Chain A
Amino acid sequence: MTKKGFTVRKKFEQIKNKGRRAFIPYIMAGDPDLEETAKRLKILEQAGADIIELGVPFTDPLADGPTIQRAAERALNSGTTLRKILNFLADFKDKINVPIVLMTYLNPVFCYGIERFFKDAQKANIGGIIFPDLTVEESQPYRYFAKKYGVDIIFLVAPTSTPERVKKIIKASTGFVYYVSITGITGSSLKLDKTFENHIDFVKSFGKPVCIGFGVSNPEEAGCVSKYADGVIVGSAIVKVFYETPDKAFEFIKSLREAI
C-alpha cells in the first residue's frame, strides 16, 4: 500500500509505465464562476487530461500574460476566492478521477495561513501546488507543510536558469518540474532553437519528470513540444477557447491530447 496523497507523482509513475506523455490543461477557477468550473473540469477529464492545473485568481498575476490575467479578473468579479475554491474542490473531489494541481500566487495562501492551506488542500484531495512567485530560496516552510500533508510541490525552471539553480530547483520539486517559457518563445520557435533543446536535456538529465509550458497554441505545437518532455502544459489557448468559442472547446482539447 502506497502512502496517502502525492497523487501527482503516482500519476507520473503510471504514465511512465505506459510509455506515454502527460497532457496537462490549465483553466482558471471561477472563470466566469465555479459552477462553470465544475463543468469544464469534467470536459477536460473526458477529453483525456492526465492532470489538471487549476488557477486561483489574484489581482496582480505578474507571471501571467493578458489572457490569463483577464480570466482572473472575470473570476474575481464573480467573487471567487481561495477559500471558496478549496470548499468547492472538497465537494467535487469524488466526481473527478484526474489529479488536480492548484496554481496560486503566494499572497492568498500567506493570508489564508500556510499550514491551514496545506491541511485543507489535503482534505480537498489536491495533488500538487505550483506557486509562480515562490523561489527555491524562500520555499522552506511551504515544502515542509507540503510534505506533511501529502501534497506535491512543483517548482518552475526557466530557460534563463543557471545550472546551479536548475540543480536546486529539481531537488526541491516533487511530482514534476515545470519548464516555463519566457515571453516571445513559443512552441513553434522551440524546434528551431538548439540552445533550448540542450537546456531542456540538461534539466531532464536528473531523472525527474519535466513538463513544458511554452505558449502552445495548437495541436501541431503541442506535438512538437511533447517530443522534448514528459508532459505538455497548455494554458492560455484553453482559457481562450472556453471564453471565445465554448462549443468548440471539447474538440480542440481532444485534438491537443491526441497530438501529444
Chain B
Amino acid sequence: MGSKRGYFGEYGGRFVPETLMPALEELERAFLKAKNDRNFIADFESLLKDYVGRPTPLYFAKRFTEYLGGAKIYLKREDLAHTGAHKINNALGQALLAKKLMKKERIIAETGAGQHGVATATGAALTGLKCDIYMGTEDIRRQALNVFRMNLLGARVLPVDTGSKTLKDAINEALRDWTTNVRTTHYVLGTVFGPHPYPMLVRFFQSIIGREARQQIFKKEGRLPSLLIACVGGGSNSIGLFSGFLKDREVKMIGVEAGGKGIESGLHAARFAGGAKGIFQGCLSYVLENEDGNILQTHSVSAGLDYASVGPEHAYLKETGRVQYTYATDDEALQAFELLSKFEGIIPALESAHAIAEAIKIAPKMSKDSIIIINLSGRGDKDVQEVARIKAEDSSIRSE
C-alpha cells in the first residue's frame, strides 16, 4: 500500500469539490471508529448471519468440472445471499454505519442495473432510514422490475436525465444531493471506487467473502486454491474475494472485465485493456477516456460491469502484477450464462458469467488436481428477460 493516506501506490486519493470534504472526513472518522467498535462489528456480523444468510456456501461444481476436464471448480455462492448478490454486504454495513455511528436520517445511493439500489433500499427498510436512489432514465427503462422492487421496499427512485443517462450520471447526481444534504444524509456508494475512504470502506464490508472462502476451501480440500476468478466492474466482489488471499503468494488471481463487442469495436468496458490513467469521480485510477480527458461511453451486456473506471486498488494490483486482468466479450458471457445453467442448475448473473467465461477458457489447460474458486457474485433472475430478448433477436437475424 502507498504511504499517503487513501492511496494504493499512486492510485486512489480524494478528488472532489470542497463542499464534500467535510462529509468525507466525517465518514472516515466513523469508519475508523466502526472498525474498532465491538458492538458495531457484533451487530453487523449477526445481521450477516441471520438476515443475509451467511456464510454463503462454497460449492464444488462437479458436472461443470467434468465437462471442462481440467481444474476442480468451486463456486462461492454470493448469489444465495439475501437480495441475490454480494451487494447486500456493503449496503447493510453502510446503512448500519449511517444509523448507529453517524445518526443520519436518510441514505442515498446510485444504481445502474438496480442491484445496489435494491440492496440499499433493503438496508434502509431494515434500519428504518429514509432512502432515495438515483438511477439514469435509460437504466430505469431497461430495469423496470428493479425499480418496482425498490419502491416496494419504501425507497424513492429519482430519475437522472443528464449525460448518458446511466450509472455514471446517477453517481454525479447522488454526489450533488449529498453536497446539499450532508448534515442529514449518508451516501452509500456501491463499490470500491470514488474518493477515500470509500474504496477501503467497501473493501472492509466485502472482505467477508474472501475470509469465508479461505476457511471453506481449507475445510474441503485442506489446501489453498491455485486460482481465483472474479468479474470486475467497479470491483467490489473481486476485492472481497481476493482480499482473503493476497498474502498467499501461490494463489493466482484473475479479474475479468467486460469486453462488450470486442476491444477494437470501442464498445466495451475493459478499462485495463482500453483505458489509461485518469481522475474521475473522486479518484485516480484507470479510465476509459479520450485524449482530451473526456469520459467515453461504455458498453456491456451486463449493466453491473458497464462503467468507465475501476477501483484504484485494482489499478494497483495490476501494476504490481499481483492480479492479472483480462476480459470476456458479451458473446462469451452469454455462452457461459447458458452453460452453467445447463450443467449445474445455477443461473448466474450476467456479471458473474464473465468470470465463468474465463474459467471455461483456462480450466481445461490446468491439471486435474488444481483448484479454481470463482466468485458467483449474483444470481441471474434479473437477466433472464434480457437474455431471452437477445436470443430472440439473434435467431431472427439468423432466419433472415
B176 touches A62 (CB 8 A): yes
Residue from the set B17, B175, B180 with the largest chain A CB neighbour count within 10 Å: B17
* A184: contacting residue among B169, B180, B280, CB under 8 A: B180
The reply to whether the CB of B394 lies closer than 8 angstroms to some CB of chain A is no
Q: What's the Cα separation between A132 and B17 when bound, in Å?
A: 6
B293 touches A62 (CB 8 A): no
Q: What's the Cα separation between A160 and B24 when bound, in Å?
A: 12
Residue from the set A105, A107, A169, A182 with the largest chain B CB neighbour count within 10 Å: A107
Residues of A within 8 A of B21 (CB): 135, 158, 160-161, 165
B15 touches A133 (CB 8 A): yes
Q: What's the Cα separation between A109 and B294 when bound, in Å?
A: 10
Residues of A within 8 A of B291 (CB): 111
Residues of A within 8 A of B341 (CB): none
The answer to whether A76 and B15 touch (CB under 8 A), given A60-B168, A60-B280, is no
A76 touches B294 (CB 8 A): yes
The reply to whether the CB of A94 lies closer than 8 angstroms to some CB of chain B is no
Among residues of A, the one whose C-beta sits closest to the C-beta of B162 is A69
Q: Which parts of A87-116 form the interface with B (CB within 8 Å)?
A: 105-112
B19 touches A110 (CB 8 A): no
Residues of B within 8 A of A160 (CB): 19, 21-23, 182
Where chain B touches its partner, the secondary structure class is mixed
* B278: contacting residue among A111, A132, A134, A162, CB under 8 A: A111
Q: What's the Cα separation between A109 and B279 when bound, in Å?
A: 10
Inter-chain residue pair count (beta carbon < 8 A): 111
Q: List 12 A-B contacts (CB under 8 A).
A: A58-B293, A59-B295, A60-B163, A61-B172, A107-B280, A110-B277, A110-B284, A111-B291, A135-B21, A138-B13, A182-B180, A184-B180
The answer to whether A110 and B293 touch (CB under 8 A), given A135-B14, A183-B176, is yes
Contacts beyond the supplied A60-B169, A111-B289: 10 A-B pairs with Cβ under 8 Å: A59-B295, A106-B15, A107-B287, A108-B293, A108-B294, A110-B278, A155-B18, A162-B25, A169-B18, A182-B19
Q: Which parts of A16-64 form the interface with B (CB within 8 Å)?
A: 58-63
1/0 per residue, CB under 8 A from A, across B299-326: the answer is 0000000000000000000000000000
Among residues of B, the one whose C-beta sits closest to the C-beta of A107 is B293
The reply to whether the CB of B158 lies closer than 8 angstroms to some CB of chain A is no
Residues of B within 8 A of A83 (CB): 292
Residues of B within 8 A of A60 (CB): 163, 168-169, 172, 280-281, 295
Residues of A within 8 A of B278 (CB): 107, 110-111
Residues of A within 8 A of B (CB): 58-63, 65-66, 69-70, 73, 76, 81-83, 105-112, 132-135, 137-138, 155-158, 160-162, 165, 169, 180, 182-184
The answer to whether A138 and B14 touch (CB under 8 A), given A107-B280, A180-B19, A182-B19, is yes
Q: How far is the CB of B271 from chain A (nearest CB, A)?
A: 14
Residues of B within 8 A of A105 (CB): 293
1/0 per residue, CB under 8 A from A, across B228-259: the answer is 00000000000000000000000000000000
Residues of A within 8 A of B22 (CB): 158, 160-162, 165
* B15: contacting residue among A59, A135, A158, A184, CB under 8 A: A135
Residues of A within 8 A of B281 (CB): 60, 62
Residues of A within 8 A of B294 (CB): 58-59, 76, 81, 107-108
Q: What's the Cα separation between A59 and B298 when bound, in Å?
A: 13
Residues of B within 8 A of A169 (CB): 18
Q: What's the Cα separation between A249 and B17 when bound, in Å?
A: 30
Residue from the set B172, B292, B295 with the largest chain A CB neighbour count within 10 Å: B292
Among residues of A, the one whose C-beta sits closest to the C-beta of B180 is A183
Q: What's the Cα separation between A223 and B292 when bound, in Å?
A: 39
Residues of B within 8 A of A65 (CB): 176
Q: Which 10 interchain pairs have the tightest Cβ spacing?
A: A111-B293, A108-B293, A81-B292, A107-B293, A63-B17, A183-B180, A158-B19, A62-B172, A59-B294, A156-B18
Residues of A within 8 A of B18 (CB): 135, 155-158, 161, 165, 169, 180
Residues of B within 8 A of A62 (CB): 17, 171-172, 175-176, 281
